[in-house]
Amino acid sequence: MTTFVDIKPGQWVLAWQPTAFLAGEHEMAEALEGLRFGGAGWTYVKAGDLFAVHQITKVMPKTYKAMPYADGTEDGSEVRDYRAAVIAASANWAEIIRLCDTLFAIGREADDAIEAEAARLIAPFEKATREAAVAKVRAALPHHFGGAA
C-alpha cells in the first residue's frame, strides 16, 4: 500500500509532474533516487519539467485539487493530481521552492563532478592519442608539412 504525504488545504506541495512520475508504475523512493542523475536522467530538462508546486484546495483519498504555481498552467485553473505524486508539503511556499531547487541540483552537481573527474583522468591519454593522430596526419601528407612529396 502506498503511504501518502500528509497534506491539508492551504499547504504548498512539491509534486512530480504527471509526465515525470506515473503513480502506480514507480515507487516514490525509486523515483527520488533517480534524482542522482541530472534532470533525473533526462537531458536538458528544467526543474519545472519534473516538479509541480501546488497550493492545496481540497484533499481526497487518492487525489487532491490545487491551484498551480510555476508549473506551466497559464490560465490559473484548479488542477487535480494524484496524492502518490506528492514529494513534500509545507505551509511555507519558499520552503517548497528551496526543496525543489535543492532536489533538482543534486543530480546536476553529481553529473558535473563525474564529468570533471572523468576529464581529469582521461587528460593524459587524450593528449597522447591526439599527438599520435597528428603524427599520422603528418606522415600521410608530408608535402604539407615541409617534407618530401
In a domain, 90, yes or no: yes
Q: What's the domain range around 35?
A: 12-110
Residues 17 and 42 in one domain: yes
Handedness of CA 19, 24, 27, 28 (dihedral sign): positive
Q: What is the block-wise mean pLDDT of the chain (149 residues), using blocks of 10 residues?
A: 87 89 72 76 72 94 87 68 95 95 89 92 96 95 83
pLDDT in tens, 76-104: 788 999 999 999 999 999 999 999 999 98
Residues 73 and 133 in one domain: no
Residues 134 and 75 in one domain: no
| Angle formed at CA 93 by CA 87 and CA 97, multiple of 5 degrees | 60
